[in-house]
Amino acid sequence: LLKYFSPLGFWGLVNNAGISTFGETGWLSMEKYEKFADVNLLGSIRTTLAFLPLLRKYKGRIVFMSSIIAYFTLGNGIYSMTKAAIEKFCDALRLEMKKFGVQVCIIQPGNYARSTKIQPPVSAEEIWNELSEEEKAVYNKEYVQERADFFNNILSKGSMNGNEVVDAMVDALMSPAPKARYMVAKLKEKALVFVCALFPTVVMDSVLSYALSK
């Protein structure tokens, strides 16, 4: 959470709080789903509602930290779920706030795991030990290790230039004409978003299945 006060009053709110983890759908407990929804989604909503009267009064800005992972998932569906939900919340809020002169912006970073430390490397052993007996009967340690190695490889390729995301946040707050969405990502990441957003689901599934099999 970042709040910006100008001489004109309460001007800007940045909802930046977020947590991430790795795991296929059945590997994660209901408690973990609830925690992620509470922090990544409901936390931003609670904060927004608390400051909405001031933001309307001073015709301010609201900035939300989303992710390109809102469009697809590669092993962290629980994170994708919350980011997709916050995108829809922002879409509704942006339209509703136009009549008050309040602008709503979404930041969509690509892979900045190395600069933000939002997701530490995952341990296949820890994942296996936390699986239920039902899940252990379906999967094996080798598969879990393969998935962990795949995900850790993605993390290792994350950008260290976190200032690029900060620059987008500043522009969203200070520009006379801010964008509704700021996608701060590598060309390959933007291309994947393009495929997921515009192509039929069968194409998206084929691309992601291929990536997961590598």
pLDDT, one tens digit per residue, over 27-82 is: 999 999 999 999 999 999 999 999 999 999 999 999 999 999 999 888 889 999 99
CA atoms within 13 A on the CB side of 41: 19
pLDDT at 184 over 80: yes
Domain holding 137, by residue range, is: 12-213
Residue 4 in any domain: the answer is no
User: Residue 122 in 3-state DSSP?
Assistant: coil
pLDDT at residue 35 in the model? 95
pLDDT at residue 195 in the model? 86
pLDDT at residue 76 in the model? 87
pLDDT at 6 over 70: no
Q: What share of the chain is helix, strand, coil (3-state, %, to 5)?
A: 60, 15, 25
Residue 29 in any domain: the answer is yes
pLDDT, one tens digit per residue, over 137-181 is: 999 999 999 999 999 999 999 899 999 999 999 999 999 999 999
pLDDT at residue 214 in the model? 64
What's the distance, CA 195 to chain centroid?
18
pLDDT, one tens digit per residue, over 99-139 is: 999 999 999 999 998 888 888 888 999 999 999 999 999 99
Concatenating the DSSP letter of every residue in 82-115 gives HHHHHHHHHHHHHHHHGGGT-EEEEEEE---HHH
Residue 5 in any domain: the answer is no
pLDDT at 4 over 90: no
For residue 177, the domain's CATH number is 3.40.50.720
pLDDT at 7 over 90: no
In one-letter notation, the amino acid at residue 74 is: L
pLDDT at residue 2 in the model? 55
Q: Which residues contact 77 (CB under 8 A, 6 or more apart)?
A: 24, 25
10: β partners:
5
Residue 19 in any domain: the answer is yes
Residue 90 in any domain: the answer is yes
User: Residue 137 in 3-state DSSP?
Assistant: helix
* Cα-based angle 102, 15, 179 (whole degrees, multiple of 5): 50
Q: How many domains does the chain have?
A: 1
pLDDT at 9 over 80: no
**Residue 18 in tokens:** 């977020």
The single-letter DSSP state of residue 59 is: T
Active site residues: 79
As a whole number of angstroms, the distance between CA 178 and CA 43 comes to 24
Model confidence, pTM: 0.89
Residue 110 in any domain: the answer is yes
Residue 121 in any domain: the answer is yes
Residue 92 in any domain: the answer is yes
| First-to-last C-alpha distance (Å) of the chain | 37
pLDDT at residue 11 in the model? 83
